[in-house]
Structure 1
Amino acid sequence: MAKGSAFMRRLCIVLNILLGFLGVVLLLVGIVASTFKIEPLISGYYWQDGTQSVLFSIGFGLATILLSILGVYGAYQEHVLALLLYSIFMTIEFIALLALTIIAILAQPQVEKKIEESFANMTSLYNTDQVFRRELNKLQQEAECCGLIHYTDWRDQIPSSCDCPQNYSDKQARCAKVIVNAQNYRSSEVNKNAGTDPMTVQSPVHYVHKMNCSPILMSHVKNTLRILFGIVFTLATIMLASVIVALLLWNNINTRSSVTGISHDDDRMKYELQPHKMA
Structure 2
Amino acid sequence: MGKINGCLKCLFIFFNVLFAIVGCVLMYLAVKATAISISITSFGGPGLGWLWVIAIGVLGISCLGIFAAASEKILILKLFAGFMGLGMLIMLIFGIVVAVIRNKVAEGFKAASSEYIKPIMEAQETQAMLEELQRSAYCCGVVSAEDWGTNIPDSCECSSYGISTGCKSLPQGHTGPKRIYSRSCGDTIFSLVDIVFKVCLGILFGFAVTALLGLLITLLMIHQVNRHDGAGGPSIAMKGY
- One-letter amino acid matched to 1:162: C
Question: What is the distance in 2 between the residues matched to 1:213 and 1:205?
Answer: 17
Identity of aligned residues (%): 23
CA positional deviation for 1:246: 1.3
| Structure 2 residue corresponding to 1:230, chosen from 197, 202, 215 | 202
What residue is the counterpart of 2:7 in the other structure? Answer: 7
* C-alpha separation in 2, matches of 1:98 and 1:141: 39
1:163 is aligned to 2:135: no
Q: CA deviation at 1:104?
A: 2.6
Unaligned runs of 5+ in 2: none
The amino acid that maps onto 1:76 is A
Q: Deviations over 1:168-201 (max 9, x none)?
A: 35269722333xxxxxxxx23x57xxxxxxxx9x
- Residue-by-residue CA offset, 1:225-261 (whole Å, 9 max, x unaligned): 1221111111111111111211221231232133223
1:243 aligns with 2:215: yes
Q: CA deviation at 1:148?
A: 0.7
1:13–1:75 contact (8 Å) kept in structure 2: yes
81, 86, 89: which one aligns with 1:87: 81
Q: Alignment partner for residue 146 of structure 1, among 131, 135, 140?
A: 140
Q: Report the equivalent of 2:16.
A: 16
Measure the CA separation in 2 of the matches of 1:148 and 1:47.
Answer: 25
- Specify whether residues 172 and 109 from structure 1 end up closer, same or farther in structure 2 by C-alpha distance, changes over 3 A only: closer
Matched, 1:212 2:184: yes
Tell whether the 8 Å contact from 1:16 to 1:242 is kept in structure 2 after alignment. no
Report the CA distance shift for 1:118/1:227 in structure 2 as closer, same or farther (over 3 A).
farther
Q: What is the distance in 1 between the residues matched to 2:229 and 2:164?
A: 82
Contact preservation (8 Å) 2:12, 2:69: yes
Are the structure 2 counterparts of residues 207 and 26 from structure 1 closer, same or farther at C-alpha, using a change threshold of 3 Å? farther
Distance 2:69 2:54 in 1: 22
Q: Distance in 1 between matches of 2:10 and 2:98?
A: 35
AA partner of residue 169 (structure 2)? K
- CA RMSD, Structure 1 to Structure 2 (Å): 3.4
Normalising to structure 1: TM-score of the pair? 0.69
5+ long unaligned stretches in structure 1: 39-45, 179-186, 192-199
Q: Which among 190, 207, 221 is matched to residue 193 of structure 2? A: 221
Is it true that 1:126 corresponds to 2:98 in the alignment?
no
SS state at 1:218 partner: helix
The offset of 1:91, in angstroms, is: 1.6
Q: Is the 2:4–2:225 contact (alpha carbons within 8 Å) kept by the matching residues of 1?
A: no
Distance 2:233 2:224 in 1: 14
Q: Could you tell which deviates more after superposition, 141-150 or 248-257? A: 248-257
Cα displacement string for residues 40-62 of structure 1 (whole angstroms, at most 9, x for unaligned residues): xxxxxx985xx38x544442332
Q: Which amino acid aligns with 1:234?
A: G
Distance change in 2, residues 1:113/1:76 (3 Å): same
Q: What residue number does 2:99 align with?
A: 105
**Greater helix share, structure number:** 1
Task: Assess, with a 3 A threshold, how the Cα gap between structure 1 residues 172 and 251 changes in structure 2: closer, same or farther.
Answer: closer
* Number of residue equivalences: 236
Counterparts in 2 of 1:87 and 1:113: CA distance versus 1, 3 Å: same
Query: Which one-letter code corresponds to 1:132 in the other structure?
Result: T
CA contact (8 A) 2:134 2:156 kept: yes
1:176 equivalent in alignment to 2:171: no
Cα shift at 1:12: 1.9
Q: Determine the structure 2 residue equivalent to 1:60.
A: 54
Partner SS state of residue 261, structure 1: coil
- Over alpha carbons, which structure has the higher Rg? 1
Higher mean C-alpha deviation, range 95-104 or range 63-72: 95-104
**Contact kept in structure 1, 2:3 and 2:225, CA below 8 Å:** no
The one-letter code sitting in structure 2 at the alignment partner of 1:126 is: M
Measured in 1, the distance between the counterparts of 2:77 and 2:115 equals 54
Q: What SS does the corresponding residue of 2:140 show, helix, strand or coil?
A: coil
